[in-house]
Amino acid sequence: MTIGWNAGLDDGWRQYDSTANNCIFYNSLLRNDNPYDDDELDDLYEYLRGLYVLPNTVLSEYFNRCERLISKMNELGVNTDANWNDIDKNMVSKIRTNIKERNTVNLVDDIKVCLFELELKYGVEE
């Protein structure tokens, strides 16, 4: 299952697909220990479809950073359901709650902070 993103209203269209290899939202929702929140994927998807107004550089940065992060997690052996459950509870769920409540003024910055903290935790280098 993938979440498709269209981006780049001002700098050309590009399709992004969220997968287990490149998206913290995908992993935290589908790999946490709450099988009853998978329907939140629909809410998340509905909101994220509206992000086509973001420049390609913002979405490209997100997917590239997530891909490096998840690759490093694989390398360290910590790309596990239990770990994603922890990431969801302690980091990503706050962002998802803000999305659900349409409190998205600082969404891009919140996601960047979350990625920075995870990159720091797992030693991801640029």
Please give the residue range of the domain that contains residue 87: 3-122
| pLDDT on residue 49 | 63
| pLDDT on residue 51 | 62
The pLDDT tens digits for 46-95 are 666 666 566 778 888 988 999 999 999 999 999 999 999 999 999 998 88
Instruction: Classify residue 73 by burial, with Cβ atoms within 10 Å: 0-12, 13-18, 19+.
Output: buried
Q: How many domains does the chain have?
A: 1
The pLDDT tens digits for 7-43 are 555 555 567 778 899 989 889 888 888 877 666 677 6
Does residue 106 or residue 74 have the better pLDDT?
A: 74
As a three-state string, the secondary structure of 24-75 is: HHHHHHHCCCCHHHCCHHHHHHHHHHHHHHCCHHHHHHHHHHHHHHHHHHHH
pLDDT-based confidence at 114, cuts 50/70/90? very high
